[in-house]
Structure formats: structure tokens, C-alpha cells
Structure 1
Amino acid sequence: MTLTSATPDVVTDRWRGAARPQTSAEWLVRAEEVSDILSADAVERDRAGGAPRAEVELLKASGLVTLLGPVEHGGGGQRWETAYRVIRIIARGDGSIGQLLGYHYLWAWAARLVATDEQIAAVEEAYTAGNLLFGGAVNPRDADLVITEDGDELVFNGRKSFSTGGVVSDLTVLEGVLDGTDTHIFAIVPTDQEGIVFAHDWDNLGQRLTESGAVEIRDVRVPWSQAAGFVDREFVPLVYNTWNVPAIQLVFANFYLGIAEGALRTAAGYTRSHTRAWPYGGDDKPRATEEWYILEGYGQLQSKLWADATLIDQVGAEISAELHAPREETTPFRRGELAVRIAAAKLRIVEDGLETATKIYELTGARASANSVGLDIFWRNLRTHSLHDPIPYKKREVGVYALLGELPEPTWYT
């Protein structure tokens, strides 16, 4: 089955009657099944460039959308350690959908990061029971949405140039600044309303199916009671709410790794079935799979990705423990220490992933550059999103820690 040819009922019925995964290992198997479906026609769907509605239905039907949701409301009740692995697996099959799912997990957890206990319970019940997908209009580089007060309501107005997943989402996380103050407010609202207008202008080199284009917010109203983390209109700050950036930076690292792993896997398959040995070097081999430089090349790339996976999994286990621990137990030191190691993991997979997505052409041969092969999708996807924030600044963060022992201050990007 491919999503290009499948009818909607085939997608949604894929796991009807199947036992729901219970353990982390079973959820990873479910993710592999989804990834295999996505990989079958990832290039064709990327080129078509349509909104990924069938892809979202696939994620919902598989149960992956509610992986982190409470069991009592029908969710998987899994930990972030598993969610990170799921993101990576999905990205092997389709980098765009790995990003959509990763952003969804972060926004689904956003209530726990900043909201009150009552707000957390309401949000998690609603999205889990409803099997709803999150998008977000929270790009910090734009001038923030302006929020005004109207009695017991907050009114959001403004524009964001990025809103990943918004077009196909059920819920949207808004973030803006209360007019006349420097107070930032987060709120979760239904996406399908007149005041949320998408520009449909996402036309970038890679990650084409993430629907990351602009959105205009026009008089979107939210009750004060739904302003995340506010009690009697006053924000109650937590050290815990600064975990949002390290958590999403590791989302990035995992779908980068998934893209790189997908590139290496796809290239290896091509080399085994199509690449020809080079007959003019004086060391003739009957098959390309016996060529020393091809074996060396795959060995180098695989070694780097294994090393990256080890670091990413290690910090994934550690931040998972923090995200699932009582919120009051978080300390600034632990947050900073882990944030700098996540920065190290991210910078390593960006460099090693881009090397992999480029080097595979040397290991597959000239014919592999044909558009019909589609190896370019991996480089385009990784190159596009890895520009999210400058990697030299990640190197600097790690360098300052290694040389001076200084931890990064929490910002929108650290």
C-alpha cells in the first residue's frame, strides 16, 4: 500500500481490530510499520506537494498521535524516551512527517510545561480522547502576536511567518505579548475558525510536506482562564517551563538522525541492486559491493550515525527522566547541563547527516543522481530544517561549557 494510491478508508482501517501496543518496544514496532508505508512513496508525495492529510490520518489511525497521552483517556501513556525514538523512525520513512509528529509531541506536552494542573488535565483529556493533532504559531523571530484584553477574554492579532503543521492540525498553540507589557501568554485554540487564516505559502527546498507557511491571526478570542500557567491573571513561573527548548532541540536531532538513517539505508539498497564496479582502477572487482572504497565509505558513514544515535539516545533518556519527574524537582543547573549536551548532539548529527546525504552519491554512482531515484530528498530535507538556528552558535555553547564551565542561559533557542 502507498498513500498516493490508497483510499482514505484503507489508511484509517490499517490497524482496525489489531491489539493496541502496550510496551515501548511494541510502539516502536508500530512506528516501523507506519514508516514503511511512508517510505514507499515519499518522493512522489514530496514532489506533489499537497497538504499531508492522508499522512496525518495514518498517524492517527496508528495511535502514534496519542503516544504520550494519558492511558485513562485512550492514550499510549508512554515516556519521552520512546517518543524520541518514534520520531526518528517515522523520519526514516518521511522527514516531513517525522517533523510534524515531533512538533505535535512538543505542543501536546506544552501544557505540562507551563500550565496549571487543572489546565493540564483539560488539555490532555481533550486531545487524547479526540485523537487531535497540534500545530503551533510560536515563531520567536517574528514580532509576537499582540494580545489585548476584552473583559474576561484575551484577543490575539498578528502574523507568524512559520506555523508548522497548522494547515492539517486540529489545535493550534498561540503565543503572544500582552499589549503594553512584556508578558508572554500561551493558549491552545481550535484551528478550524475564521480568525486563523493560513497563507499556503510554504515553498521551500525541503520538508515540503510540513505545511510550515505563514498564518494570520485575526481577533482570535481566548478566555483568561485558558492562558497557560496564569492564576488570577498572574503568571506562575517554573524552572520546569524552560525545558521547552531543550526538548524540541532534541526533537530536531532525532528527525535529523532519522533522515540520515533513511538516506544511508536507501543508498545501500541502491548500491546492492544497481551500482556497478569501476573497471579502470587496476583493482577490478566483479561487483560494486566488493569495491574497497565503497565498503570504506559505508563503514565511515554508518560508524558516525551509530555514534550520533548513542549520544542522542543517552540525552533522550536523561531529558525524559526530567520531563516525567515532578515539576518542582527541576533545577537550573540540571537544565543547563543537559541543554548543552543536547546542543552537542544536534550539531554532530547536522554535520554527520549532511555528510551522509552528500557522500551517498559517491557510493551509488552517477546514475543514482537521476530524479527517478530521488536520493536528493534526504539532503534537501536535512539542509532545510538544520538552518533553524545557526550551528556555529551550538558549537559555541558547547565550547563555552568545555572551556569555561559556563552553562547556557535559557532563551528561545537554548
Structure 2
Amino acid sequence: MNELDHPAARDPQASSVPHGLSSLLEALRASAAERDRQGGHAAQEKQWIAEAGLLTIAVPREFGGTGAAWPKVYETIRSIARVDSALAHLLGFQCLQVVSVDVWGNPAQRARYLRGTVESRWWWGNAVNPLDTRLVASATADGGFRLNGQKGFCSGTRGSQMMTVSAHDPQTGKPIFAVIPTTRDGITVNEDWDPIGQRQTDSGSVSFANVKVEAEEVLHRSETPPTPHATLRTLVSQLVLTNLFVGIAQGALEEARQYVNKNGRPWITSGVDKATDDPYLIARFGEMRLQTVSAEALAERAARALDDAWNKGAELNAEERGRVALATSEAKILAHRAALEVSQNLFDACGARATHAPLALDRFWRNARVHTLHDPLDYRVRDVGRYALSGTLPDVSLYT
């Protein structure tokens, strides 16, 4: 079997696939608490996502994909994050790897890998982190490379069929970027992901031992300055995280609402018969909703800005790109804060009995806490403050 035709991993014990997004969300929510406790690989749930047709939501229509506008892509990610932010992370990073091929690949690579994603329903893994230089790429005479070393935080790689990879080229001092099948000889996907949250994102490390990269698999060598359009990939990534945060806040608020309506008891000095009539509790829910809807509004605003910029293609200029980066930072700051604060305030709203471990209501805060550490919030506030004070737009970087 050709390694590019390697079939998607399937669970022979998997139950019937939920039909439609709403059924998928119900199925994910039903098992989210138990899967959070277990951690590990969500093979059945990933199969459901594939069967729902979501793997190709960001693949351009010219290659047979859905080609959804960015606001729709992020709305989908956000809706899954409300019930299971780990699975939403996997779908978001699936979209990110598709974008990586789309902006870095030549026409032949785009056709090969994007059409292959549609036809073979590939899950994509991520081993791209140019700051991690432990993976070394040694050039070969045929224009390819040999990879040796390790990468960490390789989200989605376990159970994937293809992966994007960045590696340090010591000859040039720059990273190389490539696409390779996850099953290629010399690749070991390590099951060493065991954080306090986001426990099913398959974000362990990957080891490479003399792994061959063919010349035609090399996507980008950073030898020429990328176009403003190509650098939108970074903002695609940051808005994945932003919408995960918003979804976590929305999910925590909904769980709190359901819990209080079903189990809430009024405080002994409240003077009311029902918890839902307590003015302090009402005020707390009001504040939680304000944080959530504000974060969602800025996330949607940033997604529209990204979509407009994306559709300009090669005509996009640096200033226009900078304004999308600003909108993205503004949205991410608010979403970061909303995810942490709403998931924490859930317990103040629900009370001591809500800490019953089997409920796993703490998963919202744990998932938010793990994800909000991806890059320091202070530097985003700095960028927004610079623009507010002097009109300076954010510089292009690995995070902005």
C-alpha cells in the first residue's frame, strides 16, 4: 500500500455516526466528562467528525472541499468547543494544516495534498514550531532532507495520516517546512501527553530517526520574505485558539445555567424561595453573559476581517494585514479572560456541590488554563496599547 493511501484509523467497536452537527455535539457532550478523566486518544469521536464532513471545511472548493468562509469555520469550531474543547482543538488544527499547504505549497502540492484530504479523509497532524530547533534537517543531494530529532506539542499527530513538519536546517540557519505521511519509516508518535486539561488533543511529542523528506514534499524554505497573504496563516492559528476560548466560556455558562436551574438552592439569608430569584446570583450570571457575548462579538469581528483579507489574495498589503492582526489580538485578549473567568465563576454560581468530581465541571477551567498559556497575554495587550497610543500596527511574528 502506498503510504499516502494509508486508511484513516477506525475503531471497530464504534457506534453509529451521529447525523448532523447538532447530533454530533450531543454525542460529544454526553461523553466529554468521562473522556476528560480518561485522557488518551478519541478515535471514535474523531471518526464521527470525519463522517460529518468537517475535515474538509477549510479545503478550497476547487479541490473538492467545502471552502467555507472563515466566520463559518470558526463558528463550527466554537460550537464544538462549547461541549469539548479538545476535539474542537483537533478540528481547528486540521484546518490550520490545510491552510499551511494552501499558502506554502506550489500548485502541484496544493492539488496533491488538498485533493487527497478530500478523497482519503486524511486527519492532519502538526509538528510545526520553528522555535523548537531540536529537529534537524540535513540536506540531501536530490533536493530533499533527512530528519533527526524530536518535536513537542504535536497536536493531532496521533491517529493522523499526514503531518506538516518544520525542522532546523543548520546549513542556512532557517527552518524548512514539509509534508510527510505520519506512517513513514523512522517516525515514532509518542503517547506522552498528560496535562491537566485539553487531555485529548493528541499533543504529545514525535521522534524522527533518519526520516526521508522528498524534494517535492518540501513546502517552504523561508528564503524569500513571505507575502502578507501567506502570513495570514499565523492569524488563522490565533483565531482557532480565540474561538476555543469563546466556546469554553459559552460551555461553562451553559453548564452553570443548567446546573442552577436543576440543583440550585437559595442561600439561607437570601429571602427568596428559589435560587434563580437570588439577586446576587442573577447579577453573577449577568456578568458571565456579558463577558461571553463580548468575547464572541470580537471573535466574529476578527473572523470577518480575516475573511476579507483572505479573499484579497496576492492583492493584500501589509497595512491591511496588520489591521487583521490587531483585530485578532483584541479578540484573543477578551476571549482569554472570558474563558478563565467564566469557567472559574461557574463554581461561585453553582456552589460547593458542583465540585463533585464525576461532574467534571472543572474541565472548563482546566482546558482554558492549559490553552491560554500558548503565548503571553501581556504582549498582546502591549500591541493593542501601542496602536491605541500611537497608531502602530502589530509586527508580523510567529504569534501576530
Of the three residues 359, 371, 385, the one matched with 1:373 is 359
Contact 1:90 1:98 in 2 (8 A): yes
Query: CA, structure 1 residues 375+91, in 2 after alignment: closer, same or farther (shift >3 Å)?
Result: same
Instruction: Give me the whole-angstrom Cα distance separating, in 2, the residues matched to 1:331 and 1:131.
Output: 34
**Aligned-partner SS, 1:278:** coil
**Aligned-partner SS, 2:241:** helix
| Shift of residue 407, structure 1, vs aligned partner | 1.7
Of the three residues 5, 10, 14, the one matched with 2:15 is 10
Contact 2:294 2:334 in 1 (8 A): no
Q: CA RMSD in A?
A: 1.8
Contact 1:73 1:129 in 2 (8 A): no
- Which residue identity is paired with 2:206? V
Contact 1:106 1:244 in 2 (8 A): yes
**Are residues 1:363 and 2:349 paired?**
yes
- Which residue identity is paired with 1:212? S
Report the counterpart of residue 119 of structure 1 in structure 2: 109
Q: Percent identity?
A: 32
- Which residue identity is paired with 1:411? S
TM-score (norm 2): 0.93
**Aligned-partner SS, 2:145:** strand
**Aligned-partner SS, 1:102:** helix
Report the counterpart of residue 183 of structure 2 in structure 1: 192
Of the three residues 253, 256, 270, the one matched with 1:264 is 253
Contact 2:130 2:167 in 1 (8 A): no
Instruction: Give me the whole-angstrom Cα distance separating, in 1, the residues matched to 2:373 and 2:260.
Output: 30
Contact 2:130 2:168 in 1 (8 A): no
Contact 2:40 2:202 in 1 (8 A): no
Structure 1 segment 224-373 matched on structure 2, within 5 A: 224-229=215-220, 237-279=226-268, 281=269, 283-326=270-313, 328-373=314-359
Instruction: Give me the whole-angstrom Cα distance separating, in 1, the residues matched to 2:22 and 2:108.
Output: 35
Contact 2:295 2:331 in 1 (8 A): yes
Contact 1:172 1:189 in 2 (8 A): yes
| Shift of residue 74, structure 1, vs aligned partner | 4.5
**Are residues 1:400 and 2:380 paired?**
no
Contact 1:229 1:236 in 2 (8 A): no
Instruction: Give me the whole-angstrom Cα distance separating, in 2, the residues matched to 1:139 and 1:360.
Output: 34
Of the three residues 46, 50, 53, the one matched with 1:60 is 50
Instruction: Give me the whole-angstrom Cα distance separating, in 1, the residues matched to 2:132 and 2:85.
Output: 25
**Aligned-partner SS, 1:220:** strand
Query: CA, structure 1 residues 338+119, in 2 after alignment: closer, same or farther (shift >3 Å)?
Result: same
| Shift of residue 93, structure 1, vs aligned partner | 1.1
Contact 1:401 1:407 in 2 (8 A): yes
Query: CA, structure 1 residues 143+300, in 2 after alignment: closer, same or farther (shift >3 Å)?
Result: same
| Structure 2: gaps of 5 or more residues | 1-10
Instruction: Give me the whole-angstrom Cα distance separating, in 1, the residues matched to 2:244 and 2:52.
Output: 19
Report the counterpart of residue 211 of structure 2 in structure 1: 220
Query: CA, structure 1 residues 224+323, in 2 after alignment: closer, same or farther (shift >3 Å)?
Result: same
Instruction: Give me the whole-angstrom Cα distance separating, in 2, the residues matched to 1:311 and 1:147.
Output: 40
TM-score (norm 1): 0.90
**Are residues 1:143 and 2:133 paired?**
yes
Instruction: Give me the whole-angstrom Cα distance separating, in 1, the residues matched to 2:225 and 2:287.
Output: 49
**Are residues 1:103 and 2:90 paired?**
no
Query: CA, structure 1 residues 144+399, in 2 after alignment: closer, same or farther (shift >3 Å)?
Result: farther
Instruction: Give me the whole-angstrom Cα distance separating, in 2, the residues matched to 1:265 and 1:129.
Output: 37
Instruction: Give me the whole-angstrom Cα distance separating, in 2, the residues matched to 1:190 and 1:235.
Output: 26
Contact 1:257 1:305 in 2 (8 A): yes
| Shift of residue 63, structure 1, vs aligned partner | 0.6
- Cα deviations by residue, 1:110-144 (Å, 9 ceiling, x for unpaired): 11222222221221111111111111111233225
Query: CA, structure 1 residues 166+246, in 2 after alignment: closer, same or farther (shift >3 Å)?
Result: same
- Which residue identity is paired with 1:166? T
**Aligned-partner SS, 1:174:** strand
- Which residue identity is paired with 1:35? L
Report the counterpart of residue 69 of structure 1 in structure 2: 59
Comparing 363-372 with 64-73, which one deviates more in the overlay? Answer: 64-73
Count of residues paired in the alignment: 389
| Structure 1: gaps of 5 or more residues | 1-5, 16-29
Instruction: Give me the whole-angstrom Cα distance separating, in 1, the residues matched to 2:16 and 2:198.
Output: 22
Instruction: Give me the whole-angstrom Cα distance separating, in 1, the residues matched to 2:52 and 2:13.
Output: 14
| Shift of residue 8, structure 1, vs aligned partner | 4.1
Query: CA, structure 1 residues 95+163, in 2 after alignment: closer, same or farther (shift >3 Å)?
Result: same
Comparing 262-271 with 315-324, which one deviates more in the overlay? Answer: 315-324
Report the counterpart of residue 29 of structure 2 in structure 1: 39
**Aligned-partner SS, 2:41:** coil
Query: CA, structure 1 residues 325+249, in 2 after alignment: closer, same or farther (shift >3 Å)?
Result: same
| Shift of residue 240, structure 1, vs aligned partner | 1.6
Contact 2:336 2:372 in 1 (8 A): yes
**Aligned-partner SS, 1:51:** coil
- Cα deviations by residue, 1:238-279 (Å, 9 ceiling, x for unpaired): 222211211111110001111111111011100000011112
Instruction: Give me the whole-angstrom Cα distance separating, in 1, the residues matched to 2:326 and 2:382.
Output: 10
Instruction: Give me the whole-angstrom Cα distance separating, in 2, the residues matched to 1:7 and 1:118.
Output: 35
Contact 1:250 1:346 in 2 (8 A): yes
